[in-house]
Amino acid sequence: MTQFRHKAATQRAQVFHIDEYPICRFGLSQLLTKEPDLALCGSAIELAPTLDEFKVTTPDLVVIEISTNRGRGLDWIKQINVTHPAITILVYSIEDERYYAMRALRAGAMGYVSKEEPLEVLMTAIRTVLDNRIFLSDHIKDRVLTRHVGRAEPVSGIDRLTDRELQVFTLTGHGRNTREISSSLNLSPKTVETYYDRIKKKLALPSYHAVVTYSVRWIEGSN
């Protein structure tokens, strides 16, 4: 059995799961009951009431869906890192790894697993990050290495978006309007409109309606 950096070899590493879908939370809880070195210490649909709960549940690892609560997962990763820096974070998400994996790592996560991967990959990822090692798919690792040696593929317009711009763009693709996005991200409608202007320029789109159309097609193509 791997001796995780947080626990002695005889103890089970404590995992906390944040995901708004009950079936996903139930599924992970069932998986962990079969593992002798892992245990679920809690689950939640969002972060806000959970931060104080961490003081009681003392998780070693938080597994988080970054699209939870209308796409605020990246913000939550940063917040957990500030308030509970000893907790390891693993993203387990429906969002496209190509666009979100490196953003998640920059926010403070130790790994990223797509929900399209077999469950065995998730369990491997959990143990990898608990052992203080980064976990990414081979495809994303190849992209990182390629960029590191200076042979990067051309940067797409989506890759040029900041984390906040990508949040706005993704929520737009999921059918959210300006008012709903401003409420979800705690931004003023005017600020959201400013992000739309930036997105238009970076994606070379002529109008707000073109942004909406492109975002919907992008979401459909990513799923």
Domains and CATH numbers, the chain: 13-145 (3.40.50.2300), 157-222 (1.10.10.10)
> CA-to-CA distance for 153 and 48, rounded, in angstroms?
38
Confidence of residue 135 (pLDDT cuts 50, 70, 90): very high
- Tokens at 74, concatenated: 């990246």
Q: Does residue 123 have a pLDDT over 90? A: yes
Element (H, E) at 171: helix 163-173
In a 13 Å sphere around the CA of 48, the CA atoms on its Cβ side amount to 4
> CA-to-CA distance for 101 and 171, rounded, in angstroms?
18
Q: Does residue 148 have a pLDDT over 80? A: no
Q: Does residue 147 have a pLDDT over 70? A: no
- Going from the C-alpha of 17 to that of each of 44, 85, 123, 189, the distances in angstroms are 6, 17, 13, 32
> CA-to-CA distance for 109 and 90, rounded, in angstroms?
6
- Tokens at 151, concatenated: 């042979």
pLDDT of residue 102: 87
28-65: pLDDT as tens digits: 999 999 999 999 999 998 887 778 889 889 999 999 99
More confident residue, 176 or 145: 176
Question: What percentage of residues in the chain have a pLDDT greater than 90?
Answer: 51
